Amino acid sequence: MTDQAPVPSGPAAYTGPARVLSGVQPSGALHLGNYLGALVKFSRLQHEIDTFIFVADLHAITVWQDPALLAQQTREIAAAYIASGLDPDKATIFPQSAVREHAELAWIFQCVARLGWLDRMTQFKEKSGKHKERSSVGLYTYPVLQAADILVYKATHVPVGEDQKQHLELTRDIAGKFNHDFGVPGGAPAFFPQPEPLIQGPGARVMSLRDGSAKMSKSDPSDYSRINLTDDADTIAGKIKKARTDPEPLPETLEELTARAEADNLVGIFAALAGKTKAEVLAEYAGKGFGTFKPALAELAVEKLAPVGDKMRGLLGDPAVLDAILAKGAAKASEAAAPTLAEVKKLVGFWGA
């Protein structure tokens, strides 16, 4: 076996069906950034391509999670998916830990991936900080599990933000090396695809309402820095009206807007919620102050987000319904993943495969 990812020149291109996969960790309340950057896009994709969306509870435990809360947090992510427009009859929605093929394929991939590839992953360095020796091994190796998440379904497309592009490249390296090392013959279709990124587009990066230079985050100590999907209409409007701004009216050009972080963020949120470009928003509000713009943004945000929160609360009030959806999705996901794992075991040479 080689130690470097081969140039994928042996097997021919993958010929299987197009499929998209993504997931969100159940490690805290979802917010406006998650909604615009992922959830509404998942809902659109389900009408365009075979869609698998999971709750990434195996990834969540790379850092400590309270066992008493984890199952309920999983339900909350599922509720957010459905409230944001995912249809369980169109998309496969499931908990990662309920499909054993993820973890089993991840171990095989840990024996395919090279240590040097993981050493180059910048997210571990960022998340572990100065005390990496105190971090879990899972935090270091989770990009390999991420590759298994994708490839166990032979997903061809993965929605990614800037912080995940490196991990998708690792997935492509693992796929190429597996195809090379386990004898996929030249000219035959590749066993694993080379997944392509789906760039998130407008709304993918929503910044804090208190600091336009920091990404909106559930870990920010100030609840006024974000709009949670479970916030009611009055709370949403109040947070928009208290969002940090500057004293100048909105500019006419995108170039001027870019130099003003908080203004740029609010215009971007308005554009994403309204399905417009920032230029179109400026065409309507240029020269107007935030005393005019913020109430308009608050009204729009309440219109779009309050129904999501209402539906989430309704779903969470009946956990048996959510559990049935997750169980059905897990069975469907297992049905799709099992043949891939079985063939991998055969290619690797395991007894009984």
Residue indicated by tokens 């997931």: 23
**Is 218 designated active site?**
yes
Given the residues 90, 215, 311, 332, select the one marked as catalytic.
215
55 bridge partner residues: 24, 95
Residue 9 C-beta-side C-alpha neighbours within 13 Å: 2
Tell me whether residue 322 is exposed, middle or buried, using C-beta atoms within 10 angstroms of its C-beta: 0 to 12, 13 to 18, 19 or more.
buried
Catalytic, out of 125, 132, 165, 218: 218
Q: Are 70 and 26 in contact (CB under 8 A)?
A: yes
3-state SS of 182-248 is CCCCCCCECCCCCCEEEECCCCCCCECCCCCCCECCCCCCCHHHCCECCCCHHHHHHHHHCCCCCCC
Residue 148, both tokens = 């298994």
The active-site residue out of 41, 90, 125, 127 is 127
Is residue 346 part of the annotated active site? The answer reads: no
Opening angle at CA 95, ends 94 and 99, nearest 5 = 90
Report how far residue 314's alpha carbon sits from residue 220's, in angstroms, rounded to the nearest whole number: 27
The backbone torsions φ and ψ at residue 149, rounded to the nearest 5 degrees and listed phi first, read -55, -45
Active site residue 215: yes
- Which residues are part of the catalytic machinery? 127, 215, 218
